[in-house]
Amino acid sequence: MSSPISRRHFLKTSFFAAGTAIAGTGIAKAATPADADKEPLVTLIDISRCIGCEECVYACQDANAHKFADPKKPFPRMYPDRVPVEDWSDRRDVTDRLTPYTWLYIQYASATTKEGENITLTIPRRCMHCANPPCVKLCPWGAAKQETNGLSRIDSQICLGGSKCKTVCPWEIPQRQTGVGLYLDLLPAFAGNGVMYKCDRCYQKIEKGEQPACIEVCPEEVQTIGKRSDMIRKASELAKEMDGYIYGLEENGGTNTIYVSPVPFDQLVYDTGKGKPHLNPVKDTMADGSNLALAMVIAPVAGAAAAVGKFYKQMKEDA
């Protein structure tokens, strides 16, 4: 786990960042659309190849162990009583669902093939790394961030554990660990509840030009990572080859994780629930906001036009 930072340090750093960033000249440059050279990275997961060996699960835990929470107990009392304590620190070996210590798990799904054969598919499940991730965009503190390579991650030094990211995630991926993080230095009784954790696609390995641990270790080469356009093309070819189906191209406006399955996703039978995400169609959750952005361009023009119109009308009246 990363070392905690103090409230003073957090506020000082935040306001310094705010002042320099907003007052500075770089903000226009900062809002950089992804260009061709910085095309998001996408992982393509060929479900038909996965044998459910869980090598990826353990490799993920090993590679990210230094980021895991190490809470001190007892936890501070939180008010009101409805605030849930979510403690997975004594259940770190749970691997049949997502937890703050298991960012990737194998989901079992049964299905019937076109030939009528009953099969069991094993599906590596983790954060989908949405192209426009609501967990990042709607975080009220900016604790979650999206990088230009398309991965999204939560900064454990800033996250207060309010779990909004989980609520707005169509798959409810992020998982909370109580008793760690910045909230302990602020108002632990009245605000915050720990830190949210999820797959960060081994950003520290990607920065070094390496592959994420789950991809690196897989004996069946279930996953492939590459530029979005390349992976979409490959997914289409793979789907055509196996007469299969794709998940992730349209879901939530497109994700940077693409699954290819030999069976339609709506015919897969699997457990869902807490920490066990679904594979249902998902509408673009950020679309309404994006559409309304246009209204914010039109509104001031309309307001100014109305004022000019009113003024012109009165001038005519007075003339």
Partner 1 sequence: MLYHFTARRTVYGLILFFIVLSGFAQMPIFDRYYVSDIPGLGWLAQFYVTHVIHYIMAALLLGLCAYVAVDFFLYRRFSTGASRADRKSAGNRSSIATRNSLPTRITISGMVKIGALSGLVVTGCFMVVKNLSLVYFPHGVVIGLDLLHLLFGMVLLGATAYTWIRRRTWVV
CB 92, min distance to partner 1, A: 26
Beta carbon of residue 296, minimum distance to partner 1 (angstroms, whole number): 5
Is 296 among the residues that bind partner 1 (CB under 8 A)? yes
Q: List CB contacts of 217: < 8 A, sequence separation 6 or more.
A: 55, 56, 59
Kindly provide the b/e burial profile for residues 134-161, where b requires at least 16 CB atoms within 10 angstroms of the residue's own CB: bbbbbbeeebbbbbebbbbbbbbbbbbb
Say whether 79 sits in a helix, a strand or coil: coil
- Output the CA–CA distances (angstroms, integers) from residue 162 to 31, 86, 140, 226, in the order listed: 27, 12, 9, 33
Q: Are 152 and 130 in contact (CB under 8 A)?
A: yes
CA distance 48 to 120: 10
Residue closer to partner 1, measured from CB, 14 or 120: 14
In the complex with partner 1, the residue whose CB is nearer, 125 or 153, is: 153
Q: Does residue 152 interact with partner 1 by CB under 8 A?
A: no
Three-state DSSP at 211 gives coil
Q: For partner 1, what does the binding mask look like between residues 29 and 58, x meaning CB under 8 A?
A: -xxxxx------------------------
Query: Should residue 5 be labelled a site residue for partner 1 when binding is judged by CB under 8 A?
Result: no
- Is the link from the previous residue into 84 a cis peptide, with omega within 30 of 0? no
- Candidate list 45, 123, 158, 213; residue touching partner 1; CB under 8 A: 158
Token duo for residue 41: 């990275």
- Interacting residues with partner 1 between 222 and 251 (CB under 8 A): none
Q: Which spans of this chain sit near partner 1 (rule: CB under 8 A)?
A: 14-15, 17-22, 27, 30-34, 80, 82-83, 131-132, 137-138, 140-142, 145-148, 155, 158, 162-164, 167-168, 191, 253, 285-286, 288-290, 292-293, 295-296, 298-304, 306-308, 310-311, 314-315, 317-318
